[in-house]
């Protein structure tokens, strides 16, 4: 039985998961994570366009490539982003609370058992799950005005 890899995401109010057959990929994306030991890990919103593209490509490759899919036991259909643009549009630019190391750690766990729904159960994925609860793939929400309107 092949090993499958997944990325779960919430988009347009529904659950979409990304899974595909295993491909050799490194444990990190190669995107500069910042000074993790010094307490400053870079957030996804800190990344340049080319770094976001690189992170999307790594995320897809870890899951078997863009556009791949599988059906898990119980009928859950899981699929990778269709292409890089779909990944970029999803939420990478809106997750201002998720760091590069957190994204990579969650993704690595997700691909270890794609149908386990680690996004919702694992501590490694807590920051990603919280971010996805705030955005459906659109731009980051504007800060709310305080009581004095500012």
- 141 domain-assigned: no
- 69 domain-assigned: yes
Q: Long-range contacts of range 27-30, CB-CB < 8 Å, 24 or more positions apart?
A: 27/104, 27/108, 28/58, 28/104, 29/54, 29/55, 29/57, 29/58, 29/59, 29/100, 29/103, 29/104, 30/54, 30/58
- 147 domain-assigned: no
- 97 domain-assigned: yes
Residue 1 CA neighbour count, 13 Å, CB half? 6
Indicate whether 125 pLDDT > 70: yes
Structure tokens of 73? 């036991």
Per DSSP (E only), the strands in the chain are 4-11, 14-21, 34-35, 40-41, 69-71, 77-79
As for how many domains the chain has, the answer is: 1
- 143 domain-assigned: no
Q: Are 69 and 80 in contact (CB under 8 A)?
A: yes
> Taking all residues of the chain, what is their mean pLDDT, rounded to a whole number?
76
Indicate whether 41 pLDDT > 80: yes
pLDDT of 65-112, one tens digit each?
999 887 888 888 878 899 999 988 876 667 888 999 999 999 999 888
- In this predicted structure, what is the pLDDT of residue 19? 44
CA distances from 110 to 3, 13, 140, 147, 150 (A): 12, 21, 24, 41, 40
Structure tokens of 123? 């501590």
- 126 domain-assigned: yes
Domain residues for the domain of 123 are 4-134
- 59 domain-assigned: yes
- 144 domain-assigned: no
């Amino acid at each position: 039985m092949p090993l499958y890899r997944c990325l779960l995401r919430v988009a347009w109010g529904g659950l979409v998961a990304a899974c595909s057959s295993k491909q050799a990929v490194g444990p990190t994306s190669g995107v500069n994570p910042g000074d993790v030991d010094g307490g400053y890990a870079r957030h996804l919103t800190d990344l340049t366009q080319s770094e976001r593209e690189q992170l999307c490509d790594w995320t897809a490759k870890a899951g078997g490539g863009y556009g791949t899919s599988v059906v898990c036991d119980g009928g859950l259909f899981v699929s990778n982003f269709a292409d890089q643009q779909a990944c970029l549009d999803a939420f990478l630019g809106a997750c201002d609370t998720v760091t590069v190391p957190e994204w990579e750690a969650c993704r690595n766990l997700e691909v270890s058992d794609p149908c386990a729904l680690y996004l919702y159960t694992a501590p490694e994925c807590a920051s990603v799950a919280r971010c996805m609860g705030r955005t459906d793939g659109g731009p980051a929400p504007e800060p709310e005005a305080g009581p004095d309107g500012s």
